[in-house]
């Protein structure tokens, strides 16, 4: 019985922590993003191809709160490294800070590269990046780096907002 309670407490702590971690040693200011001139987010075909390439290279990498490499990564970490390495943009490291930048996009007007935000718990937030046809790249706490569908009831019911960088 004691083991079951311990497991339940650990699971609850992980769910509350979610993808909202911050890593202090990551470069770039917390409240702005820096365009290093490498990428072109207005070219949807280029963005889609880069997101699919990112998925192929990171598919299945496990979730790890605060993670920023292939030994484990969290949702904001995946977005951070994707935008930095694929598009030359340095975004804030946390989901909360990412949600504060960019331009609001109406639901359904998304294009490749838009950030999608979800309220997955009382205080937990999750971020992914839209690809196309209702699909987005993100990190699942169970399956790791995956592409999911917004047609899934869970994602449809927890969707919060979208931002365009």
Strands 135-140 and 125-132: antiparallel
Helix, strand, or coil (residue 58)? helix
Quick one: pLDDT at residue 40? 72
Mean pLDDT of 145-156: 97
Q: Alpha-carbon distance 40 to 72, whole Å?
A: 28
Catalytic entry in 19, 55, 85, 138: 138
For residue 19, the model assigns a pLDDT of: 59
Q: Choose the catalytic residue: 19, 55, 85, 126.
A: 126
Q: Is 75 a catalytic residue?
A: yes
36 Cβ neighbours under 8 A, 6+ residues apart: 88, 89, 90
Q: In whole angstroms, what is the distance from residue 51 CA to residue 58 CA?
A: 10
Which tens digit of pLDDT belongs to each residue from 62-91?
999 999 999 999 999 999 999 999 999 999
For the chain, the first-to-last Cα distance in angstroms comes to 49
pLDDT tens profile 98-141:
999 999 999 989 999 999 999 999 999 999 999 999 999 999 99
Domains of the chain: which residue ranges? Answer: 2-21+30-164
User: Is 138 an active-site residue?
Assistant: yes
H or E segment at 29? none
Any catalytic annotation for residue 55?
A: no
pLDDT confidence of residue 4: 45
Which homologous superfamily does the CATH classification assign to the domain defined by 2-21+30-164?
endopeptidase domain like (from Nostoc punctiforme) (3.90.1720.10)
Predicted structure pTM score? 0.80
């Amino acid at each position: 019985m004691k083991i079951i309670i311990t497991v339940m407490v650990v699971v609850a702590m992980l769910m509350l922590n979610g993808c909202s971690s911050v890593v202090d040693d990551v470069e770039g200011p917390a409240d702005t993003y820096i365009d290093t001139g490498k990428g072109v987010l207005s070219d949807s075909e280029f963005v889609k191809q880069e997101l699919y390439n990112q998925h192929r290279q990171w598919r299945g990498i496990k979730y790890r709160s605060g993670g920023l490499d292939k030994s484990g990564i969290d949702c904001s970490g995946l977005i951070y490294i994707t935008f930095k390495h694929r598009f030359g943009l340095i975004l804030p490291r946390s989901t909360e800070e990412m949600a504060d930048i960019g331009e609001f996009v109406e639901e359904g007007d998304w294009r490749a590269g838009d950030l999608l935000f979800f309220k997955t718990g009382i205080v937990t937030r999750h971020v992914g990046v839209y690809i196309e046809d209702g699909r987005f790249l993100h990190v699942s706490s169970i399956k790791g780096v995956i592409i999911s569908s917004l047609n899934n009831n869970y994602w449809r019911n927890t969707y919060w907002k979208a931002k365009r960088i």
